[in-house]
Amino acid sequence: MVSGEKSLKRLSPDERKRRLLEKAIEYFSEEGFDGSTRELARQMGVTQPLIYRYFCSKADLINEVYNAVYLAHWKEDWVTDLQRRDWPLRDRLLNFYDSYTRTIFNRRWMRIFFFAGLKGLDINTRYVQRVSDHLLRPICMERRAELGFDTELPLRQAEFDLVWMMNGIVFYQGIREHIYRLTHTFNHAFSIEVAVDMYLDKSVEVIEQSLKSDTAVLASPASSIQQQQVLVAHDRT
């Protein structure tokens, strides 16, 4: 029995699994998903079979990483607060992005997201779908409601693209900070305000023109995300 395994042996099974998962998150955030569970075990000072005692495959381990890094930090208040019409939408958006960026702007979150995308894993697809369905589509309809447009009509692609642009401006600041690792101090509040005001200013024209056009393309999750689901190989490399 190797040294790391001896120390884990004294812990409860739940705590052992938590420690293994925490190390896996750190490992994948630095090495990417080409990193093997064999190397992960070596760095932890445990045997590879111990990892597979708690995670039945590498795919299972990656799914647990997704749950811990992304789903566990998802806040349902984001969804409900975005639809509180007793606040101006601008205030709701500023409040949401302030909370959202405090959650996602960290090294592990950003690096795992990009490594998963480069590897073609479905972490990105699942998370982007969640953002699309639960945050960005409702924002589009809240903007329509605030401007007095019909919220019963299907969402147009141009409306959806515009809200993604707002989200992209905000997200890019996290890329600069945690992927490019630029050294200057980032003013996230400023970038959020710029992105939100850009969206609100342009949305009047975009919504009006989109709803008038008989040839407007309806927004669909598949066309907006433009990613294909790729199954993670159930290997033990």
pLDDT exceeds cutoff 80 at 8: no
Inside any domain, residue 195: yes
Inside any domain, residue 1: no
pLDDT exceeds cutoff 60 at 75: yes
3-state class of 156 per DSSP? strand
Token pair of 218 as six digits: 């309806």
What is the dihedral angle through the alpha carbons of 155, 161, 162, 168, rounded to the nearest 10 degrees? Answer: 140
**Mean pLDDT confidence for 88-93:** 98
110 and 40 fall within a common domain: no
Inside any domain, residue 3: no
Check which CATH number belongs to the domain holding 16 and give it.
1.10.10.60
CA–CA–CA angle 78, 99, 19 (5° rounding): 95
Inside any domain, residue 144: yes
212 and 170 fall within a common domain: yes
Total domains present in the chain: 2
pLDDT digits (tens, 9 = 90+) for 139-162: 999 999 999 999 999 999 999 999
140 and 182 fall within a common domain: yes
81 and 152 fall within a common domain: yes
> Which uninterrupted H or E stretch holds 186?
none
Give long-range contacts, CB 8 A cutoff, 24+ apart: 136-144: 136/160, 136/163, 136/164, 136/167, 137/219, 138/79, 138/82, 138/83, 139/82, 139/89, 139/93, 139/163, 142/82, 142/83, 142/85, 142/89, 142/92, 143/89, 143/199, 143/200, 143/203, 143/207, 144/207
105 and 219 fall within a common domain: yes
- The DSSP line for 124-137 is HHHHHHHHIIIIIH
Domain stops at, among 27, 44, 68: 68
Assign 183 a pLDDT band (cuts: 50, 70, 90): confident
pTM: 0.86
More confident position, 203 or 122: 203
CA distance 158 to 165: 11
49 and 154 fall within a common domain: no
Q: Phi/psi zone of residue 165: left (φ > 0), alpha (ψ -120 to 50 degrees), beta?
A: alpha
Axis crossing angle, helix 13-31 with helix 58-69, rounded to the nearest 10: 90
Residue 59 domain boundaries: 12-68
Please give the mean pLDDT across all residues of the chain.
Answer: 89
CA distance 45 to 42: 5
**Mean pLDDT confidence for 208-234:** 55
64 and 84 fall within a common domain: no
Inside any domain, residue 171: yes
pLDDT exceeds cutoff 70 at 26: yes
3-state class of 218 per DSSP? strand
47 and 82 fall within a common domain: no
97 and 16 fall within a common domain: no
HSE-CB for 41 with a 13 A CA cutoff: 20
Domain stops at, among 26, 43, 68: 68
Contact criterion met (CB below 8 Å) for 193 and 94? yes
pLDDT exceeds cutoff 60 at 12: yes
pLDDT at position 37: 96
Inside any domain, residue 63: yes
pLDDT at position 235: 42
170 and 198 fall within a common domain: yes
Domain stops at, among 22, 37, 68: 68
87 and 184 fall within a common domain: yes
113 and 152 fall within a common domain: yes
What percent of the residues of the chain are helix, what percent strand, and what percent coil, each to the nearest 5? 70, 0, 30
